[in-house]
Amino acid sequence: MRRREVLKCLFDIVEACEAITEFIAGKSHDDYIASRMLRSAVERQLMIVGEALRQALALDPNLTGDIRNTRRIVSFRNRLVHGYSLTDHDIVWGVLETGLPTLQREVTAILEDCGREPSSA
């Protein structure tokens, strides 16, 4: 059984993934590049994902077996926060298209295995 604090972090990850999915629905790469507000909103949610995962890993290092690329996700968050001026929007968009859906599925599966729906963690 996972600790309540870990489940809270995982829930925050799913919530941030859902927010990003909502933000980019119907948007193209060009729309993303053209909208400072959209980029800011997406990057903020990606920072939440990375920080929530960092905190969850500190509490339960075994999550690395259930979630792919945990270190890369946390490192990406650090890059957004500390290397913000070096953010490559093409890389961010690639993460949104490929990495985000995978992460959301993996974390949702963990919550469901713990008897928690993402909406009730």
User: Which pTM was predicted?
Assistant: 0.91
pLDDT digits 0-9 by tens, 72-95: 999 999 999 998 788 899 999 999
- Cα dihedral 26→100→13→7 (10° resolution): 130
- 26 C-beta neighbours (distance < 10 Å), count: 5
Kindly state the DSSP code that residue 61 receives in the 8-state scheme. Answer: G
Residue 1 predicted with pLDDT over 60: no
All residues at 6 or more sequence positions from 107 whose CB lies less than 8 Å from its CB, including other chains: 10, 13, 14, 17, 67, 118
Of the candidate ranges 26-30, 82-86, 97-101, 107-111, the one whose mean pLDDT is the lowest: 82-86
CA dist 60 and 53 (Å) reads: 10
Smallest CA-to-CA distance from 23 within 35, 12, 13, 10 is with 35
Residue ranges of the domains in the chain? 4-116
- pLDDT the model gives residue 101: 96
